[in-house]
Structure 1
Amino acid sequence: PHIKTHKIPAVARAQIDAGAIGLNCQKTTEAEVFADAGFEDILITYNIMGADKLAHLAALNARVPRLAVIADSLATVEGYAAAFGAERPLTVLVECDTGGGRVGAQTPADAAALARAIAAAPGLRFGGLLTYPPIGGAARVEAFFSEAV
């Protein structure tokens, strides 16, 4: 579940206890609060850019067993690649715009190119594709992902 609606570790713990797998956070500072509370599976669903934020992300990656982030541009992937080494790779998912009109790689070819860039970086691990599907858009999502892979 995304913690943006409650931002309370006790509520997140109840969600995990009820069967949820992992948490979504928007920022490294939010992820840090939940890491401090003992959560071990955190996805940050926002591109992290800039030296200070990447250093903060590296510190989180060192202590959270299953930390992942998203990328929707080559600039973001390049920033991650420069900040992370093979000794503790960062898991990166490619965010895709599958018709929701939000953010993300705009075409399956763009998504595939980002996946290849992630896989080629020694300090990164490709974690898959992520989307916020449009209402009634299951077929479009499936087609986008099928073409991307």
Structure 2
Amino acid sequence: MLSIDDLDTPAILIDVDRAEANIARAQAHADRHSLKLRPHIKTHKLPYWAKKQIAAGAVGITCQKIGEAEVMADAGLTDIFLPYNILGRAKLERLKALHGRVTLSVTSDSMETLAGLAATFTDPGQPLQVLVECDTGMGRCGVQSASQAVALAREIDKAKGLAFGGLMTYP
């Protein structure tokens, strides 16, 4: 058997029992409070652990980048949320291709982001879910007022290939 002293560094070591207990504890907390858990994969970035989270009861996963979401989709994960504004033709085309493979939702916090989404997603039969990102005090990103959130939600509603999916904030 390999000893820890025999490992070449750097090396990644995972305490599987502890990781599985953490997944179970997070899901139990969500269940106790009737919350739908959608964990962010930014820590592990591994389909193996994302599938463990889904098996424990998570409704889907959150990925920060399109590339991460593509890897997860390739591994069979089917419900993915991207909480980062997507800009640029190449990324929007990748997003559209991904949307054809999985249940996908994204955020928008500006008319500029929304314009790109509306121009890319035009099929009312398969609308892209778009959540309005709201700044609730962290000063990171998101619309700054309720009136801005309402205005953006109304624009989402007007776009034939988009569907208003709710509000999102980074607490």
Q: TM-score range by the shorter chain?
A: 0.7 to 0.9
Paired residue secondary structure (2:107):
strand
Percent of aligned positions that are identical: 59
2:59 to 13, 17, 21: 21
Gaps of 5+ in 2: 1-38
Alpha-carbon distance between aligned partners in 1 of 2:164 and 2:85, rounded to the nearest angstrom: 15
Alpha-carbon distance between aligned partners in 2 of 1:79 and 1:85, rounded to the nearest angstrom: 11
Whether 1:101 aligns to 2:125 is no
Alpha-carbon distance between aligned partners in 2 of 1:19 and 1:35, rounded to the nearest angstrom: 18
The TM-score with structure 1 as length reference comes to: 0.86
Alpha-carbon distance between aligned partners in 1 of 2:64 and 2:170, rounded to the nearest angstrom: 14
> Match of 1:68, as an amino acid?
S
Whether 1:131 aligns to 2:156 is no
2:127 to 77, 80, 89: 89
Alpha-carbon distance between aligned partners in 1 of 2:74 and 2:63, rounded to the nearest angstrom: 14
How many residues are matched? 132
Looking at both structures, which has the greater relative contact order when contacts are Cα pairs under 8 Å and sequence separation is at least 6?
1
Deviation beyond 4 Å, 4+ runs, structure 1? none
Gaps of 5+ in 1: 134-149
Alpha-carbon distance between aligned partners in 1 of 2:111 and 2:83, rounded to the nearest angstrom: 16
Alpha-carbon distance between aligned partners in 1 of 2:58 and 2:65, rounded to the nearest angstrom: 20
> Match of 1:14, as an amino acid?
K
The TM-score with structure 2 as length reference comes to: 0.75
Who wins on radius of gyration, i.e. which is larger?
A: 2
Paired residue secondary structure (1:79):
helix
Paired residue secondary structure (2:150):
helix
